Structure 1
Amino acid sequence: MKTSTLIASLFLVSFLAATAGNNQTIDIHGKVVNKETREPLYGVNISLKNQTKSIGTITNSQGEFRLWNIPCDTADLLISMNGYKSDTIDLETLDQSTEIIVISLAEKTKKENGLKLIFSKK
């Protein structure tokens, strides 16, 4: 009885150790700035693209954001804000030593914003 319990316990520990290595995660810390002025951008949406559950955050008043325990191989990081061109970062290009990433967003032109003004005479 004790032998079978010991074998089952060893099997469970081995299984958990083997599967734990396959689920590497990364903590992402970053800052989003205006590409031209280098000023921090507040309220930028940072989210994981193509995920079944919604994981994301927004930048604070200093343009900073943090995401914890993000699986490295699951998705791209999507960075978006109204009036700016969206950007995507492949999480596989980041490694465990990445501490802070700086993302520069370029402003959209009026044409890219899709704003169309129509005037008519009365």
Structure 2
Amino acid sequence: MVNQQTPLDSVFHALADPTRRAVISRLLKGAAPVKRLAEPFAMGLPAFLKHLTVLETSGLIRSEKRGRVRTCHINEDRLAAAESWLSQQRAIWQGRTDRLAAFVESQIPEEKNP
């Protein structure tokens, strides 16, 4: 079952790379053409396009071509799905750490006043 990825798996795979996270951060400000997205990165356009392919495959971005210009847009629904999962995990772990803190505090003997 190694080849069976859930949509959330592909999102986190896409977000695992700093270049792709930077692209997502830029697209959160608004749509941008590929050429402008690639400018800040010290890599050739073919390498950068591979990053965009990963982002598109994960569903985090979509692109449209008008004439010779390919413009990328963020898919906020897919990003919200990842954020929702992270929020659920945060709530679970906060509950666990709160219970652990309560347990530890219950094990500390109270100081008696003289």
TM-score normalized by structure 2?
0.30
Task: Write 1 or 2 for the structure with the bigger share of helix.
Answer: 2
Task: Write 1 or 2 for the structure with the bigger share of strand.
Answer: 1
